[in-house]
Amino acid sequence: MTLDLSTIIKAYDVRGTVPDQLSPGVAEAIGAAFARVVVLPEHAGADRPAVVVGNDMRDSGPELVEAFARGIAAAGVDVLRIGLCSTDGLYYASGSLGLPGAMFTASHNPAAYNGIKLCRAGARPVGQETGLAQVRELAQTYLDGGLPQPAGEPGTVTDRALLADYAAFLRGLVDLSGVRPLKVVVDAGNGMGGHTVPAVLGTAAGLPALPLDVVPLYFELDGTFPNHEANPLEPKNLVDLQRAVVEHGADLGLAFDGDADRCFVVDETGRPVSPSAITALVGLREVGKELAAGRTPTVIHNLITSRAVPDLLQAAGATTVRTRVGHSFIKAQMAEHRAVFGGEHSAHYYFRDFFFADTGMLAAMHVLAALGEQAHPLSALAEMYEPYVASGEINSRVPDVAAARERVLDAYRAAYPDIALDELDGATVSHWDGHPQWWFNLRASNTEPLLRLNVEAADEDIMVKVRDDVLSLVRAEGGEPA
């Protein structure tokens, strides 16, 4: 019995355990389908069709890339392998070369996993509604009935190094050469940050030295993640970075996830700076450049980010667009509005000047520039962008998601007749125009019987009260923390 690909090809990418779910045979079938669904129909011009492929540090990567390349090449499509890279390094390759791409990574998932992030030429996303469903269906037919006949002229497979080009491109977007000297601790979590940080912030790619003293933590590439999970969204995975920042007297700390497309920041005291604050900080820098050039900028943010983000950006003269959670939605809105920047509460940051794609490294460079261009510590700088108090995301496992959701909404409609309710993504209940000021969002998981709660308020006491009241309603009939 063949694998049901719907178990590993979800809304945004491919993700499964190796080799029982994501095997070389599965990778080859996906490659064959990707070539026919995305690459060949889009191809135009004199050049041969081609795909750029990269992989992270997981041991299973090279074998899966080789199999995927076989499926691509058999369709008459050339394959350009760039080897070890971060996900944003693959997006750079896709954008700069104008080629569709495939990145083999499972991001922050445990060592047993691998996956594939697919994109169209120019780093445009391939998601459930933009081709991934068709790739899955066609790959399933190949798994069930056999691969198609090879093209008359198979594609070639060649290798090319792009790390130095990627580093130089980022250096051209944010000039760090004139900042005051900064000491920065970087926790790569044994992921791809250990490969890219020395090239971009150091001299490993042959670029001039910057006024940065980089203290490395876990730069050794190791897909078994021997020190901690490469998922900085979990507070336990920031502990080593926080300790090292204080011990070294550093100005700040940076933590990257496994494929280094997300970046988390801690200040000189070891306190995490919220991704919403980073969204506001970086957004204001990008907005300032646009306004100086006489353009009215647009910035995208998802509905979980702090109300401080639209408040500050609109006050600065930007138009803000609120969107659903998820990178495919953000990227679609970035392209539609030609937005200069976009940010998410999960520490994904998107840039028009980076092919509308997400890059944690570029966001980190903006933070370093903002800090190094003035004399105050990061804690003081970040305070400007964090005027409100947030709960962070809290998950509850419930026996009946719909019933728990309605229980909460019924209670708040009765208690606050003037509340605002929207259902762009889950249910957002807002009392922001009243007193006291608060809002919360309650979203269901797509894959588990979970409700995800995010609360923000003007002060700590109100946030705690709303958080606890909503959780008591969510968990009233058999629910529990997840």
- Per DSSP, 207 falls in state P
Residues contacting residue 236 through CB under 8 Å, at least 6 positions apart: 228
Crossing angle for the helix pair 163-173 and 360-372, to the nearest 10 degrees: 40
Q: How far apart are CA 57 and CA 136, in angstroms?
A: 25
Closest C-alpha among 257, 456, 452 to residue 358:
257
Is residue 218 within 8 Å of 187, Cβ to Cβ?
yes
Q: How far apart are CA 453 and CA 47, in angstroms?
A: 50
Is residue 56 within 8 Å of 223, Cβ to Cβ?
yes
- Per DSSP, 39 falls in state I
CA 99 from centre of chain = 21
Is residue 259 within 8 Å of 192, Cβ to Cβ?
yes
Backbone angles phi, psi at 465, to 5 degrees: -65, -50
DSSP bridge partners of 114: 16
272-273/263-266 β-pairing? antiparallel
3-state helix, strand and coil shares in percent for the chain, rounded to the nearest 5:
40, 20, 40
CA dihedral 30, 33, 35, 36 (to 10 degrees): 180
276 as an active site residue: the answer is no
User: For residue 221, which amino acid is it?
Assistant: L
Candidate list 60, 107, 346, 430, residue with the active-site label? 107
Sign for the CA dihedral angle at 408, 233, 311, 297 comes to: negative
Map tokens 């903006």 to a residue: 366
Closest C-alpha among 102, 40, 37, 98 to residue 65:
102
Beta strand spans in 195-274 (E) = 212-217, 252-256, 263-266, 272-273
394-397/480-481 β-pairing? antiparallel
| Ordered DSSP codes for 66-105 | HHHHHHHHTTT-EEEEEEE--HHHHHHHHHHHT--EEEE-
Q: Active-site residue numbers?
A: 107
